[in-house]
Structure 1
Amino acid sequence: MPQHVVVTRSATEHAHTAEILRRVEAAGVSDVRVLTNDRITSPKGETEREAYARAKATLAVVVAPPSQLKPQPIPPSADWRLDLARGCPAHCQYCYLAGSLSGPPITRLYANLDDVLAPISSLSGTGSVTTGDAARGGEGTTFELSCYTDPLGIEHLTGSLATAVEQVGTGHHGDGASLRFTTKFDAVQPLLALPHGRRTRVRFSLNATEVERFEGGTASMPRRVAALREVALAGYPVGLTIAPVMPVPGWQQSYGTLLDDVAAALAGVTDLDLTAEVITHRFTPGSKEVLTGWYPRTRLEMDEASRSSKRSKFGGIKYVYPRETMTELRGWFTEQLAARLPAARLLYWT
């Protein structure tokens, strides 16, 4: 729940802003300011941590710029990326957005929702991940909604996710597209009765208990697993995003328990369509600098000396686990997913 909401002048010109403000008022947020311009100023604080806390407590209703309206390929997850918002209200100490999004971590909600969703029609039938792929072609052209936000965590304030699910589910953008998103939240009730047409895959970010302590402000693992069952019973294709995998002490037992909990939750679900994506922890020099500023007392392991470095195609460096560790992790998850969750299709490992 935000403490502060700001609305840019341009955002007031879009009908979706009225719906956002209605939801903000219903949620009891009292500090709502409508700006006379489109400039979002950085929150101030005596320390970087204080400025971060103020930014995390702030939502901005803005107009997505043209650069954000041009979908980008997002392998290995989906054909294309669509952004309903930019920024996340959670407090994950390993945050993947740190270092990749510039400026303070204010969550920006996009008022021009129709413009954001418009490319679905023109891009259906294109892409290099699921479109035309023998294994995943049944998903059609896929659009990832959670690259730069957790859309379920802000859905009570936006309604944007439900609009997208309903439009794609009813064929508003044609019959060749599907949506997918990952969440660390469990407020799925507004989605359950939507005419989703099995064209939205709801994935839950799940992890070992020892890693959950790094995920502040999110739903607990048991609540996420329970929500997974709810959406599966409502007919949605579902998925597990097991990330970020960390080889914590006793990790085999911890992740084994997690897989068993998921299996128990999904028992008896008919027409189950279940996928799994497994992503190991990694960080960049830039993200480490940002995260240690936000969470100066974190106990998250980010020791370059114990990692292997990899260069991206653009020359950036990221630190991943050594080859031996990665081989052990990959072998275990491949084997145990097949044994404990035989219905799950492992889409990729990274």
Structure 2
Amino acid sequence: MSLHDPASLRTARLWRPRRVVVTAAARDHAHGRAILARAEALGLPVEALPGNRLTGLRHPDPRRAYIEAKSTLAVVVAPPAKLKLQPIPPSADWRVDLAEGCPAHCQYCYLAGSLAGPPVTRVYANLPEILSNLASYVGRGGVTSASAERAQEGTSFEASCYTDPLGIEHLSGSLSAAIRHFGAWDAPVSLRATTKFAAVEPLLGLDHGRRTRLRFSVNPVAAGRFEGGTAPLRERLSALGAVARAGYPVGLTVAPILPLPDWRAAYDDLFVQAAEALAGAPDLDITAELITHRFTPGSKTVLEGWYPGSDLPMREDERSRKFTKFGSVKYVFPPELMREMRGELTRSLAERLPMARVLYWT
């Protein structure tokens, strides 16, 4: 398959939840009703809940609870706490949640241990309220708003901290709405979204005003092995090229970086393929974010319950123990290995994609 093949975008795999539930409050919102209409048009079973509580999702077997939750889409109203935005360094000034939860099955999932309850994908019906709330945060923030190097991004809002917005876009329509909102917004602002999916065709004709940066999470040693339910790596790279040729600023989110066998050659080949996919993109604006694998004791426990038998390397005796800014423990690679990986990847990236700006290594 060519990395410039448009047919791969039209045939990209779309998530089909086994169960769609909608709360009473979500049905009061036009965006919520539009989500239901999309689900019904796809022939998905839709259940209208009598109230606003999600029920029937817990199971004594954590693996069974995981499977049932991961196959459920819940249309709900974002609680008031979601309108009080949190900073999200080093990615962006502020985190804005269009949804919470993700249909992918990544064995290293960064949401494990972060979200309460079963990992249901919740999409928010009160999207206009969420988007209109952003105006009060313009000019504030500690990442792009306070950085000379990234000042051209304006006040930045990250939409993929707790979800993969493209993975559910065919049902939610929320990412397209946010892109149009930012494209029409006469202010120094930008939207950021990361994805492991490839169904970008609905985004290509949007009036984005170059205010949305679409980044693709890519990992040659993890895709196909630890990233179940996602688009194949070559489809993601093809989608990267398509949105770049549609004028979007783009990015590579290389995560989680893992020193598995032949990792040097694998990451180098990744950047070669990315350069091929981006060939011919006008006014190319591309960034790279380099994120190594890490885990906490809590996330490891959750992930081992979700993915028993996984060979994802999570041995504490092979890691360095660090503390987060909140005082909790996390396990990262030892300093010498971190320096080696950083040197190899940044060197290869500079050689294969010299136009890419590295935003951070972590």
- Cα distance between partner residues in 2 of 1:65 and 1:237: 31
- Cα distance between partner residues in 2 of 1:10 and 1:22: 16
**1:141–1:178 contact (8 Å) kept in structure 2:** yes
Instruction: Determine whether 1:348 maps to 2:360.
Output: yes
**2:245–2:280 contact (8 Å) kept in structure 1:** no
Match of 1:262 among 270, 274, 296: 274
Name the counterpart of 2:239: 227
- Cα distance between partner residues in 2 of 1:282 and 1:76: 16
- Cα distance between partner residues in 2 of 1:133 and 1:308: 30
Compare 177-186 and 116-125 and name the one that shifted more: 116-125
Compare 116-125 and 256-265 and name the one that shifted more: 116-125
- Cα distance between partner residues in 1 of 2:296 and 2:236: 28
TM-score computed with the length of structure 2 as normaliser: 0.94
**1:87–1:148 contact (8 Å) kept in structure 2:** yes
**2:141–2:155 contact (8 Å) kept in structure 1:** yes
- Cα distance between partner residues in 1 of 2:51 and 2:40: 22
Match of 2:64 among 50, 63, 79: 50
Counterpart amino acid of residue 101 in structure 1: L
Instruction: Determine whether 1:137 maps to 2:151.
Output: yes
Counterpart amino acid of residue 26 in structure 1: A
Instruction: Determine whether 1:336 maps to 2:348.
Output: yes
Name the counterpart of 1:217: 229
**1:203–1:239 contact (8 Å) kept in structure 2:** yes
**1:211–1:246 contact (8 Å) kept in structure 2:** no
Deviation of the 1:44 alpha carbon: 4.3
Written as runs of structure 1 = structure 2, the 5 A alignment for 1:107-186 is: 107-171=121-185, 174-186=186-198
- Cα distance between partner residues in 2 of 1:87 and 1:100: 10
**2:198–2:231 contact (8 Å) kept in structure 1:** yes
Deviations 1:174-204 (A, max 9, x none): 3211100100000001100000000000000
Deviation of the 1:47 alpha carbon: 2.5
- Cα distance between partner residues in 2 of 1:46 and 1:285: 21
Change (3 A) 1:258 1:112: same
**2:19–2:72 contact (8 Å) kept in structure 1:** yes
Instruction: Determine whether 1:78 maps to 2:92.
Output: yes
**1:42–1:55 contact (8 Å) kept in structure 2:** no
Identical pairs, percent: 60
Name the counterpart of 2:118: 104
Name the counterpart of 1:189: 201
- Cα distance between partner residues in 1 of 2:302 and 2:17: 22
TM-score computed with the length of structure 1 as normaliser: 0.97
Instruction: Determine whether 1:201 maps to 2:216.
Output: no
Matched residue of 2:288: which SS? strand
| Structure 1 stretches lacking a partner, 5+ long | none
- Cα distance between partner residues in 2 of 1:28 and 1:139: 40
Deviation of the 1:210 alpha carbon: 4.8
Name the counterpart of 1:5: 20
Change (3 A) 1:309 1:164: same
Deviation of the 1:45 alpha carbon: 4.3
Deviation of the 1:212 alpha carbon: 3.5
Deviations 1:136-182 (A, max 9, x none): 100111000000000000000010110000011012xx321110010
- Cα distance between partner residues in 2 of 1:209 and 1:316: 28
Matched residue of 2:193: which SS? strand
Name the counterpart of 1:24: 39
- Cα distance between partner residues in 2 of 1:230 and 1:85: 25
Name the counterpart of 1:247: 259
Counterpart amino acid of residue 20 in structure 2: V
Counterpart amino acid of residue 356 in structure 2: A
Counterpart amino acid of residue 130 in structure 1: T
Name the counterpart of 1:283: 295
Counterpart amino acid of residue 94 in structure 1: Y
**1:120–1:177 contact (8 Å) kept in structure 2:** no
**2:223–2:232 contact (8 Å) kept in structure 1:** no
Compare 316-325 and 42-51 and name the one that shifted more: 42-51
**1:52–1:104 contact (8 Å) kept in structure 2:** yes
Name the counterpart of 2:305: 293
Name the counterpart of 1:321: 333
- Cα distance between partner residues in 2 of 1:120 and 1:66: 14
- Cα distance between partner residues in 1 of 2:206 and 2:325: 41
- Cα distance between partner residues in 2 of 1:332 and 1:164: 36
- Cα distance between partner residues in 2 of 1:306 and 1:237: 38
Matched residue of 2:216: which SS? strand
- Cα distance between partner residues in 2 of 1:198 and 1:116: 21
Match of 1:41 among 55, 64, 82: 55
Deviation of the 1:116 alpha carbon: 1.2
Name the counterpart of 2:9: none
**1:42–1:103 contact (8 Å) kept in structure 2:** no
Deviations 1:5-48 (A, max 9, x none): 11111111111111001110112202x11111111125244632
